[in-house]
Amino acid sequence: MIGERMKIAIIGTGYVGLCTGTGFASKGHDVVCVDIDEVKVNKVNSGIPPIYETDLEDMLKDVISKNRLRATTNINSAIKECEVVFICVGTPSDDVGRIDLKYVRQSALDIGNALRECDYKVVVVKSTVTPETTENIVIPKIEEASGKKVGQDFGMCMTPEFLREGSALKDVLEPDRTVIGEYDQRSGDTIEPIFKELNAPILRTKIKVAELIKYANNAFLATKISYSNEIGNICKRLGVDVYDVLKGVGMDHRMSPYFFNAGAGWGGSCFPKDVAAIIEKAKELGYEPKMLQEVVDINKRQKVRMVEQLQKKMDIKNKKIAVLGLSFKANTDDIRDASSIDIIKKLLDSGAIVAAYDPQAMENMKHIFPGITYNENATETLRDADACLIVTEWEEFKNLKDENFNIMKNKLILEGRKVLDKKEIKDFDGICW
Ligand code: UGA
């Protein structure tokens, strides 16, 4: 170690790996990002992020120009050169929602092979893994492949990531807290300097606790949204706006006003997969997590609620329905588990004709729904439409005015996210308001 500057290898140059690596490099560490995908590696080395993320391109170009970050497909040499190795590979869901650990196992094997000829290093799991994975799978695999002993020849930690798409770099550099699950004190002491300079509280704990903190965190956030939506559905029946109600609730300091945005449900690459995985893990441990199952069920129903509300107002068969917003949230082209998918499917199943627009996500959606109409802007999508559903809270939808909607055949507007300006648009309805 040169002062506090460390040599860090990051295995997996996806969303978490690249943002974490770029963030660490911006703090002066020497980072080498490893990926099996040569195209991705070449892109990163020329300063082009393979994913879109706010400020990532500028920061990546900067750290590359300062020789603080490079990418490679050679995992062996990357590990040999570093002091700390972060595992940042994906942990997708299998068919029943259990976590699929194939990439984590492969990384452990590769790290183990490289460690055969190495002195002490610390391996850190940052991929989201269910409790017991690091101790029952990662450590034994590394020990087996390396012939070395954890706590003696190499150290082991688990530091969950709390990155949000759209603000991932900020979340790396200005986290609410850092959780370090450590095999022993030496392991934790070795990696703590990387996080100390981020000026956020550091919680040092057991590995299994750190693994569960990640799931408990996402499960609570998903629960908070499903709770907001449940209250929202009651509000709708009472003719009140859920945002007025939750504003009052959020003023209780035990509650916090954040993440109370009721609407058309939660999606993305994290909540659906992580809540499903912790449910499956609980069952494996002999516990039926009924509340979390209901959180998922509420969400499933919430995603298509707008279509049901629309069907109460009109027969949608052969009617043109404009869908504004396809990504699972604003400022991303990510459509994984987006509410728009369930909504479009239900519209099509009911015989509607769908026209859609999204500033970023249309190319991705074309793979799922090649047969619907994709328009170049919101106004074109609204032309001659019989109804409009607003599904993602894109900034540009906030600027829509009455004149944009006047070209609809029938001006029936239903919001699934709170975006429209009441001063600008007369007569629109909301999912929970
Ligand atoms: C989420 C967590 O917020 C991060 O802390 C976590 O690190 C990440 O998952 C992960 O596990 O890697 P992300 O999926 O990027 O981050 O997106 P969020 O901003 O949390 O939104 C998730 C979904 O919830 C979106 O569909 C969003 O529209 C919905 N949402 C969010 C609401 O419906 N209401 C809200 O108040 C907030």
Mean pLDDT, the chain, rounded, equals: 96
Counting beta carbons within 10 angstroms of the beta carbon of residue 8, is it exposed (0 to 12), middle (13 to 18) or buried (19 or more)? buried
DSSP 241-308: -HHHHHHHHHTSTTT-STT---SS---SSSHHHHHHHHHHHHHHTT---HHHHHHHHHHHHHHHHHHH
Which pLDDT belongs to residue 75? Answer: 96
Q: Give yes or no for residue 394 CB within 6 A of ligand 1.
A: no
What do you get for the CA distance between the two ends of the chain, in Å? 56
Q: Give yes or no for residue 328 CB within 6 A of ligand 1.
A: yes
Q: Give yes or no for residue 271 CB within 6 A of ligand 1.
A: yes
Atom of ligand 1 nearest to the CA of 168: 15
Residue 328 near residue 338 (C-beta atoms within 8 A): yes
Nearest residue by C-alpha to atom 16 in ligand 1: 164
Distance CA 135, CA 181 (A): 11
Q: Which of 266, 227, 261 is nearest to 241 (CA)?
A: 261
Q: How far is the CA of 417 from the centre of ligand 1 (A)?
A: 14
3-state secondary structure of 390: strand
Query: For residue 108, what is the enclosing H or E element?
Result: helix 102-115
Atom of ligand 1 nearest to the CA of 222: 24
Q: How far is the CA of 5 from the centre of ligand 1 (A)?
A: 32
Q: How far is the CA of 107 from the centre of ligand 1 (A)?
A: 27
DSSP strands (E only) in 271-406: 320-324, 353-357, 373-374, 387-390
Atom of ligand 1 nearest to the CA of 268: 14
3-state secondary structure of 361: coil
Out of 3.40.50.720, 3.30.70.930, 3.40.190.10, 2.170.190.11, which CATH number does the structure's domain 7-205 have? 3.40.50.720
Q: How far is the CA of 147 from the centre of ligand 1 (A)?
A: 41
State the span(s) of the chain assigned CATH 3.40.50.720.
7-205, 215-300, 304-424
Residue 53 near residue 164 (C-beta atoms within 8 A): no
Mutate which of 129, 221, 226, 358 for ligand 1 pocket (most atoms within 8 A of beta carbon): 221
Nearest residue by C-alpha to atom 6 in ligand 1: 162
Q: Give yes or no for residue 162 CB within 6 A of ligand 1.
A: yes
Give the number of other Cβ atoms within 10 Å of residue 151's Cβ: 13
Active-site positions read 270
Q: Give yes or no for residue 397 CB within 6 A of ligand 1.
A: no
At 144, give phi and psi (nearest 5°): -65, -45
Q: CA torsion angle for 48, 54, 60, 63 (degrees, to 10)?
A: 170
User: Six-digit token pair at 201?
Assistant: 């509280």
Radius of gyration over every alpha carbon of the chain, rounded to an integer in angstroms: 24
Out of 3.40.630.30, 3.40.50.720, 3.40.50.300, 2.60.120.260, which CATH number does the structure's domain 304-424 have? 3.40.50.720
CA 129 vs CA 98, 277, 293: distances in Å? 11, 9, 19
Task: Kindly give the residue spans of alpha helices, DSSP state H, lying in 11-74.
Answer: 15-26, 38-45, 56-65
User: Six-digit token pair at 190?
Assistant: 């070795």
Long-range contact pairs involving 312-317 (C-beta distance under 8 Å, separation at least 24): 313/387, 313/412, 314/386, 314/387, 314/410, 314/412, 316/347, 316/350, 316/351, 316/352, 316/386, 316/387, 317/350, 317/351, 317/352
Which pLDDT belongs to residue 426? Answer: 87
DSSP strand pairing (178-182 vs 202-205): parallel
Residue 42 near residue 80 (C-beta atoms within 8 A): no
Which pLDDT belongs to residue 2? Answer: 44
User: Six-digit token pair at 126?
Assistant: 């940052």
Those residues of the chain that have pLDDT short of 50 are 1-3
With a CB cutoff of 8 Å and minimum separation 6, the contacts of 259 are 221, 224, 225, 228
Nearest residue by C-alpha to atom 11 in ligand 1: 270
Q: Give yes or no for residue 186 CB within 6 A of ligand 1.
A: no
Q: Give yes or no for residue 160 CB within 6 A of ligand 1.
A: no
Q: How far is the CA of 363 from the centre of ligand 1 (A)?
A: 22
Q: How far is the CA of 422 from the centre of ligand 1 (A)?
A: 26
Counting beta carbons within 10 angstroms of the beta carbon of residue 38, is it exposed (0 to 12), middle (13 to 18) or buried (19 or more)? exposed
In degrees, to the nearest 5, what angle opens at C-alpha 342 toward C-alphas 341 and 348? 90
Q: Give yes or no for residue 52 CB within 6 A of ligand 1.
A: no
Give the number of other Cβ atoms within 10 Å of residue 234's Cβ: 12
Nearest residue by C-alpha to atom 2 in ligand 1: 164
DSSP strand pairing (155-158 vs 178-182): antiparallel
CA 189 vs CA 5, 139, 183, 211: distances in Å? 14, 19, 11, 19
Amino acid at residue number 75: I
Atom of ligand 1 nearest to the CA of 332: 15
Q: Give yes or no for residue 259 CB within 6 A of ligand 1.
A: yes
What is the third-level CATH fold of 215-300? Rossmann fold (3.40.50)
CA 20 vs CA 139, 192, 201, 226: distances in Å? 22, 15, 18, 30
Q: How far is the CA of 329 from the centre of ligand 1 (A)?
A: 8
- pTM of structure: 0.95
Q: Give yes or no for residue 330 CB within 6 A of ligand 1.
A: no
